Amino acid sequence: MSQAARTPSMLANEIQVTPEVVAEHGLTPAEYARIQKILGREPNFTELGIFTVMWSEHCSYKSSRVHLKRLPTRAPQVLQGPGENAGVVDVGEGLAAVFKMESHNHPSYVEPFQGAATGVGGILRDVFTMGARPIAVLDSLRFGSVTSNAGSSANGESPEVIARNRRLVDGVVRGIAFYGNCFGVPTVGGEVEFEPGYAGNPLVNVLALGIAPKDKLFFARASGEGNPVIYVGAKTGRDGIHGASLLASAEFTEGSQQKRPNVQVGDPFLEKLLLEACLEAMDTGAIVGIQDMGAAGLTSSSCEMASRGGVGIEIELDRVPQRETGMTAYEMMLSESQERMLLVAERGREAEVFRVFRKWGLDAVEIGRVTSDGMLRVLHHSQIAAQIPADALAEQAPVYERPIAPAKPSVRSEARVPLAAMGTDLSDNFRRLLAAPSIASKRWIFEQYDHMVRTNTIVFPGAGDAAVLRLKGTSRALALATDGKGRWCALDPRAGAMHAVAEVARNVAAVGARPWAATNCLNFGNPEKPEVMWQFSEAVDGMAEACRTLAIPITGGNVSFYNDTLGKSIDPTPIVGVLGVIDEAAHTLSMAFRNEGDAIVLLDGRKSAPELAQGGADGLREFSSSEYARTIHGIVGGLPPAIDLAAESHLIDALVGLASEGILASAHDVSDGGIAVALAECGFASNGLTAEASWHSDQPVELALFAESGARALVSLPQASLAPLLTLAAKYEVAALVIGRVTRGQFHISLNDTTVIRDDSASLRDIWRGAIERAILGEQASKQT
Amino acid sequence: MTKVGVVVFPGSNCDHDALYVFSEILHTPAEFIWHQSQDLSGFHAVVLPGGFSYGDYLRTGAIARFSPVMTAIARFARSGGLVLGVCNGFQILCEAGLLPGALMRNNGLRFICRHVHVRVETIDTPFTASAAKGQVLRMPIAHAEGSYVCDPATLAELKRNGQIVFRYCAPDGSLDPASNPNGSLDAIAGICNRECNVMGMMPHPERAAEASLGSTDGLVVLSSLVQSLTRQPAAAAS
């Protein structure tokens, strides 16, 4: 390289950088001035593009950074917190769990199949780029309504919108199945909810978990001047240019469907080869650092690796494998073609790396080298196409403290459920509740996913509150669950976020796992709206407080802003994923009743109030935000149930302790649909068993049955173990109330000695089991399959 | 000492799972065989595992049949070696002509992953020797293309020769359309060749080999295979 070419040139075919071009890239004048200051000159068009993607909301977290600092991220088990491709925690026996959650919301709305598929592909790469083999995927999905009879709701959606929602569900589910099944990772859980607010902006959040030996982790860090920079995997094309940076960093408008070309296209087979080749190449010991090319592709992988390693990287674009001819430097640097990795190898050992990739039939090309000057230097056609301090791109993005204004109390928060008269038979309402898509069985969805491959899944989707994967070669198992409470966050983002953390920790504890670490995916509207920023800030505070009280560190995650369509923001939806550890896999519990005649016990973390939820005005206000209120009355109102983190903590300790004592037959947390739905679900998961329950309450009957206050779980166990259970419950400071026993035939609940629900358990199960399939495919189609 | 080989195609997914069951559960020596290998010497049985060989581009198994290892496997089969194809392995064996018929898209046109019941239709194969005739096994399926089809003459021949090894059934062993998950002809879940040394099946026995995974019925198939190897001196390889 001659001295003369040391300044980035205006390539002949490059577009002139004008104020209009800057504005089209979504940069503010202040951001542009910052770029001029960093460079000490005007950027050329390629450099402008590079800054734009790296400083986009998606890549830079410029609006969220100041808030995310408040989340607890440290704990002795945390080996790697936020800032790498994924979080890493020590799970014992020399193993590390590598996990992270990420959103692919906008691409999935524009093109549901490929959007969801590449969402899975992206997060899998984040995990195996650290040297971990992916062992599980979970998906947290939110869609608009798929049924037209969602109560007498004022938010009723038109038949056209409902039909579109169904197509979105179908496309997203097929996309997830297409990618995960072929790649060979089991999709073991997650959750799906349906609320009108997501009709114009569905959420597709994917969590991936991998396992690696603790001493064989790889990091996205370049080092060693002169070391070769190697490109592996798919060829670079013009697909996905500005995919993450523009699609995910702006609101949706009517023209958004035209952004379909910005959605990437996934090839799970290629990714499977990339996985095997990367793990094998890592075994050679010749790899220094490695990062996947996700959002902002070549740009982010090269400048982030250089920045983390405190070095520079020089790449020659002419050597990049290309799928198309005539691509400009701008296009190549911003392409988001999938299934590509960038790695730094030890100089002199390139051949070992190339041999592995050749074996797997993959392109591996040396495209550059590590330098000592801290610059990201891009050469194209023997000229410098871009030259930017790597650190400025990766770490010096603007940080905004955006204005915050409390969201006005929504009118709907005034709505209250009209309660049924005493003595009303609630069987009909109960059937409607079981058929509500958010409560009904998700079987139709998870049966499209291979949830067993790799033969580690010991609690299948739907069988327990969390998925459980045994760790071969050890006695241990890992549990994973996700949850988010959008409806409650809309009413009170702080309380809603706390509930999300508490519920997912409870889910993990219910299978017998000690909550160990969390990841999150924070889905919000446009951060430039002060109310949205307020929701975000409140949710972060709620999440931080809950994680701190429950001693669960957050090891990373993802923020998805601009979930707005035509100016309307989604309900704030922070999704939490919690990883738990079970020391003895044999002690794992599922929710299924196991033996006829077993006792059913309600555990409550609030020691003094066995079946809680204060009656009166508070109880009714909280009940108005329940699934029952929405499904039966079309009301979303009131406030989330009061949260008691100390009680949650006691209950979690109790569930983990009782499981390890081995005296329980089943455990299931009480959440959507309250005690009544939880009782029924324990039966549905079992081999033909059901419940007969009877207890006393001074609450209105609907609250007693369907209220969703936290810190509660149902356990079943042999009658003979009741005495030790009650002793242990006292030790863990939880209340234990025997409310029934496991039976066959009729599902039966009576309250204050009066029958309130009695129905054939098999027919209830059919309603619950087939509701989603009927909603998505229609009655006729579902009968045929 | 008998040794089982598990073929690794690019895109094989269940290769590790199969190897794990042979070596850790059945304590039988097992090794991977790379798809470009032409040498099966030392192996006494070969397993074609599930997955998406070569991405299943074009058609499931359509590219895998042309891989070098398949030439060797055809030779191995001709000389009497035991070959078990599971899921994608079954699809490959059909494409390669080592088994008759083909596997089409499931009649619901979706991928299905769940436990199903199959009935053992013949115990005169090395893969079912330790089963009882009519025994019902509970094993998972996980496929999008598992609907078995063949022409009427082939079906008649399969029946005449006792080549239908497994049929999808209800938990009590009865055959009814509701128990056929993918629309397979005659509820066929697995078949063997006329010599009974090559078998293909859609259910995954390697996923049903430990109680903690929900079933141990798959061991009936896999331990039959292992026992057959130790009973009869292996047809050692070509």
> What's the pLDDT tens digit per position in A192-223?
999 999 999 999 999 999 999 999 999 999 99
Asked if the model's pLDDT at residue A519 lies above 90, the reply is yes
Taking chain A, what is the end-to-end CA distance rounded to the nearest angstrom?
A: 65
3-state secondary structure A536-572: HHHHHHHHHHHHHHCCCCEEEEEEECCCEECCEECCC
Angstrom CA distances, A268 to A38, A210, A340, stand at: 40, 17, 12
| Cα of A450 to nearest chain B Cα, Å | 5
Rounded to whole angstroms, the Cα distance separating A252 from A567 reads: 8
Angle between helices A427-435 and A674-684 (to 10 degrees): 70
Would you give the DSSP letter of residue B53?
G
Q: Which of A25, A104, A242, A380 is catalytic?
A: A104
Residues 234-273 of A with CB under 8 A from B: 267-270, 272-273
The residue among B54, B96, B66 whose CA lies nearest residue A269 is B54
Q: In A104-177, where do the E strands start and end? A: 133-143
Rounded to whole angstroms, the Cα distance separating A514 from A506 reads: 10
Residue B46 CB coordination number (10 Å) = 24
**Interface ipTM:** 0.96
How confident is the prediction for chain B on average, in pLDDT? 95
Pairing of strands A467-470, A573-582: unpaired
Binned at pLDDT 50, 70 and 90, residue A432 comes out as very high
The residue among A292, A301, A299 whose CA lies nearest residue A271 is A292
| Cα of A276 to nearest chain B Cα, Å | 9
Rounded to whole angstroms, the Cα distance separating A83 from A251 reads: 26
The residue type found at B156 is A
Task: State the greatest distance between any 2 C-alpha atoms of chain A, in Å, as a whole number.
Answer: 92
Binned at pLDDT 50, 70 and 90, residue A152 comes out as very low
**Chain A contacts of B55, Cβ < 8 Å?**
182, 267-270
B11/A272 CB distance under 8 A:
yes
The residue among A98, A104, A66 whose CA lies nearest residue A85 is A98
Binned at pLDDT 50, 70 and 90, residue A251 comes out as confident
At B171-213, the pLDDT tens digits run: 999 999 999 999 999 999 999 999 999 999 999 999 999 999 9
* Closest residue in B to A459 (Cα–Cα): B213
Angstrom CA distances, A79 to A86, A126, A473, A477, A743, stand at: 11, 16, 22, 19, 47
- H/E element holding A717? strand A712-717
In the residue annotation, A242 being an active-site residue is answered as no
Average pLDDT (A560-575) is 93
In the residue annotation, A104 being an active-site residue is answered as yes
B51/A361 CB distance under 8 A:
no
Asked if the model's pLDDT at residue B232 lies above 70, the reply is no
DSSP structure string for B163-208: -EEEEEE-TTS---GGG-SS--GGGEEEEE-TTSSEEEESS-GGGS
Rounded to whole angstroms, the Cα distance separating A692 from A746 reads: 8
Asked if the model's pLDDT at residue A3 lies above 50, the reply is no
Rounded to whole angstroms, the Cα distance separating B202 from B189 reads: 6
Judge if pTM exceeds 0.90. Answer: yes
pLDDT (0 to 100) of residue B143: 98
Partner residue opposite B113 with nearest CB, options A267, A269, A451? A451
Mutation choice for A interface testing from B8, B9, B12, B13 by most A CBs within 10 A: B13
Partner residue opposite B13 with nearest CB, options A184, A472, A785? A184
* Closest residue in B to A588 (Cα–Cα): B212
Query: Residue B201, exposed/middle/buried by CB under 10 A (0-12, 13-18, 19+)?
Result: buried
Would you give the DSSP letter of residue B25?
I
Partner residue opposite B212 with nearest CB, options A272, A454, A458? A458
**How many CA atoms within 13 Å lie on the side-chain side of A472?**
18
- Asked if residue A666 lies in contact with residue A594, where contact means CB atoms within 8 angstroms, the answer is yes
* Closest residue in A to B205 (Cα–Cα): A455
- Asked if residue B30 lies in contact with residue B2, where contact means CB atoms within 8 angstroms, the answer is no
- Asked if residue A316 lies in contact with residue A383, where contact means CB atoms within 8 angstroms, the answer is no
Pairing of strands A568-569, B82-86: unpaired
Asked if the model's pLDDT at residue A232 lies above 80, the reply is yes
At B45-94, the pLDDT tens digits run: 999 999 999 998 888 988 999 999 999 999 999 999 999 999 999 999 99
A452/B112 CB distance under 8 A:
no
The residue among B92, B1, B85 whose CA lies nearest residue B46 is B85
| Cα of B5 to nearest chain A Cα, Å | 18
Q: In B49-101, where do the E strands start and end? A: 82-86
Rounded to whole angstroms, the Cα distance separating B13 from A272 reads: 9
List of residues 6+ apart from A272 with CB closer than 8 A: A182, A183, A184, B10, B11, B13, B52
| Cα of B1 to nearest chain A Cα, Å | 25
| Cα of A453 to nearest chain B Cα, Å | 7
- Tell whether A568 lies on the interface with B, counting CB pairs under 8 A: no
B212/A472 CB distance under 8 A:
no
pLDDT (0 to 100) of residue A415: 81
At A19-77, the pLDDT tens digits run: 999 998 889 999 999 999 999 999 999 999 999 999 999 899 999 999 999 999 999 99
Pairing of strands B82-86, B45-48: parallel
**Chain B contacts of A454, Cβ < 8 Å?**
16-17
**Chain B contacts of A117, Cβ < 8 Å?**
none
Average pLDDT (B119-126) is 98
Asked if the model's pLDDT at residue A424 lies above 90, the reply is no
Rounded to whole angstroms, the Cα distance separating A644 from A92 reads: 31
pLDDT (0 to 100) of residue A410: 67
pLDDT (0 to 100) of residue A333: 95
Asked if the model's pLDDT at residue A620 lies above 70, the reply is yes
Q: Which residues of B are annotated as catalytic? A: 87, 204, 206
Token pair listed for A235: 């060829």
**Chain A contacts of B214, Cβ < 8 Å?**
460
- Asked if residue B193 lies in contact with residue B163, where contact means CB atoms within 8 angstroms, the answer is yes
Cα angle, residue A187 at apex, residues A578 and B149 outer, rounded to 5°: 170
* Closest residue in A to B139 (Cα–Cα): A452
